[in-house]
Amino acid sequence: MLPEGETLSTNKLKVKRSVDSATDGHRPALRSIEGLGEHADTPAVAVMQLRKTYPSGVEAVKGIDFEVAPGEVFGLLGPNGAGKSTTIGMLTTTVKPTSGSARLAGYDVATQPLLARSVSSVVFQDAVVDGALSGLVNLELHARLWGVPAEQANRRIGQLAEAVGLVELIERPVSSYSGGQRRRLEIARALVSSPRVLFLDEPTVGLDPRIRHELLDVIVGLRGREEMTILLTTHYLDEAQRLCDRVAIIHQGEIVALDSPEALLARLGREILEFRVDGSTDAALAALRERGIAREEAFAVGARVTVPLHQHAVTDALTAIDSERLHVSEIATRVPTLDDVYLQLTGARLGEAA
């Protein structure tokens, strides 16, 4: 493999050439640049010590690192204010990093923004499609903006309308679409340019639960049809669990865990016991650890104690609680969720943390 510097200088030459060609309206040339497809080993997204401190002094992102492989669906999971949108902003070149670097398919977002944008596409939380125009015209306009040749654009739009389930509506003005339909059109719009990396910023925010699940189905379907990398942000755990190959859990601008949802959940075993304690939760945890029922990863938040059971039977745990004369209530077992993972790592629930 070439040392990084050499790959970079090759990319720089390409930047020069393609920027030149972009000026005369041939942006698709960016995508057909010789050698682009040869970088199968190049991460689709590579983030190194990326940091953003806003002029107000808010440290929104505190030096994060992660890589996303081509074809992977990667989730940034965290509550409101965690730094997800700021991260997406830096990756999509709309927010200037304070320090560190980020590359999309090898292109540096700070020093090669045109190329980084040429290989990526983003679906924002706010609508960008024009309500007065039909879905079809919106997609055609976007294809023209990207310099996609008409014939290729028609084919692509046909495929995308089908992929997002809008074939029947495509000729209707977007103002007549429901929220979910509009969001699907936004996704189709972002895909017209055949991006290598698709950014979805809170794709289902503001949608009612049924529509949300429909949209998730569409995204799952796209995974199968399109060869692309998806980086999405969400504060919905089920969304991350359902869609993502790997998830980075972000808490106050830092990544506190990064793994597949399955691996994150596996830390907590298959079943957890949860109860409220009337008294000291620390003492309760210590007693259960002493008896070998609770391991290190058992935790308490407020009066609520969470004990991953691992190989222990519930009855063993109940016997231990009884023998220790712990005053407990609301005792229940359930399967762990990513919320437990988040809670254990940060001491806060996703919905509550700021």
Q: Which residues bind ligand ADP (CB under 6 A)?
A: 54, 56, 58, 60, 78, 80-86
Closest distance of CB 201 from ligand ADP, Å: 8
- Report the residue number, 72 or 202, with the smaller CB distance to ligand ADP: 202
Query: What angle separates helix 150-163 from helix 135-145, to the nearest 10 degrees?
Result: 130
- Of 157, 158, 135, 137, the C-alpha closest to 148 is 157
CB-nearer residue toward ligand ADP: 60 or 102 = 60
Give whichever of 31 and 62 is closer to ligand ADP, judged by the CB atom: 62
Cβ proximity of 50 and 63 under 8 Å: yes
Helix (H) or strand (E) holding 319: helix 314-323
On whether the CB atoms of residues 250 and 82 are closer than 8 A, the answer is: yes
140 vs 202, beta carbon nearer ligand ADP: 202
Of residues 91 and 219, the one with the C-beta less far from ligand ADP:
91
Rg (CA), the chain: 24
CA distance 262 to 124: 28
- Taking CA atoms, 165 is separated from 128, 160, 219, in Å, by 19, 8, 11
CB of 237 to ligand ADP, least distance (A): 14
Strand stretches in 142-210, DSSP E: 197-201
* Positions of E strands within 130-235: 197-201, 229-234
Cβ-proximal residues to 69 (8 Å cutoff; 6+ apart), any chain: 43, 44, 229
Question: How many alpha carbons fall within 13 Å on the CB side of residue 111?
Answer: 15
Residue with Cβ nearer ligand ADP (117 or 251): 251
Of 122 and 192, CB closest to ligand ADP:
122
Contacts of 35 (CB under 8 A, 6+ apart): 10, 14
Distance in angstroms (rounded) separating the CA atoms of residues 128 and 346: 35
Q: Which is nearer to ligand ADP, 205 or 314 (CB)?
A: 205
Q: How far is the CB of 292 from ligand ADP (least distance, A)?
A: 39
Min dist. Cβ of residue 206 to ligand ADP (A)? 14
Q: What share of the chain is helix, strand, coil (3-state, %, to 5)?
A: 40, 25, 35
Query: Nearest approach, Cβ of 46 to ligand ADP (angstroms)?
Result: 20
Q: Which residues of 141-170 are buried (b: 16+ CB within 10 A; e: fewer)?
A: ebbeebbbeeeebeebbeebbebbbbeebb
CB 52 → ligand ADP: shortest distance, Å? 8
Least gap, CB of 124 to ligand ADP (angstroms): 12
Phi, psi angle pair for 175, to nearest 5°? -60, -20
Shortest Cβ 85–ligand ADP spacing (Å): 3
Closest separation between CB of residue 315 and ligand ADP, Å? 42
Please provide the DSSP assignment of 101-119 as one string.
Answer: EEEETTEETTT-HHHHHHT
Minimum CB distance to ligand ADP smaller for 75 or for 336: 75
